[in-house]
Amino acid sequence: MKFDHIAIAVKSIEQSSKIWKDLFGFTEITEGTEITESKVKVSVFEVGDIKIELIEPLSDDSPVARFLKKRGEGLHHICFEVKDIESTLEELKNKGAKVIDETPKRGVFAKKTIFLHPKSTGSVLIEICEM
């Protein structure tokens, strides 16, 4: 398992991207990619070996829209990359982790992803993605 990215929930990728590009000079590697299954639009920035993912809801019933209404903009989740998501999912469930989705979904860069419920991870939403 290795660190993959930090995700930040934002109301507007267009507005928030300016901070990461203009203020810090980070390179945007994807711009406004829509992931309709998750009801979000995503832009990803590279910061050395680390990625920062900005996520904007596509609809009011998106989980990210609910997050923004409850908590406002800010850190949404952290993501770790694994070689085999199915075996990692089983291992984590056997250790007591609660998963939000039982089957992996497609995320940015068409990676398979799952989310672990914050109730089983110290109140931190954690995403696991497959390389």
The pLDDT of residue 15: 93
Q: How far is CA 119 from CA 33, 42, 81, 87, 116, in A?
A: 29, 25, 21, 21, 8
H/E element holding 70?
A: helix 63-71
Q: How far is CA 35 from CA 24, 55, 58, 81, 96, in A?
A: 26, 10, 9, 19, 29
For the stretch 1-13, pLDDT in tens is: 899 999 999 999 9
The pLDDT of residue 114: 93
Domain assignments of the chain as residue spans, ordered by start: 2-130
pTM score of the predicted model:
0.89
At 110, is the pLDDT very low, low, confident or very high (cuts 50, 70, 90)?
Answer: low
Q: Which CATH fold would you assign to the domain 2-130? A: 2,3-Dihydroxybiphenyl 1,2-Dioxygenase; domain 1 (3.10.180)
Pair 22, 4: CB distance under 8 Å: no
The pLDDT of residue 93: 94
The pLDDT of residue 24: 92
For the stretch 42-96, pLDDT in tens is: 999 998 888 999 999 999 999 999 999 999 999 999 999 999 999 999 999 999 9
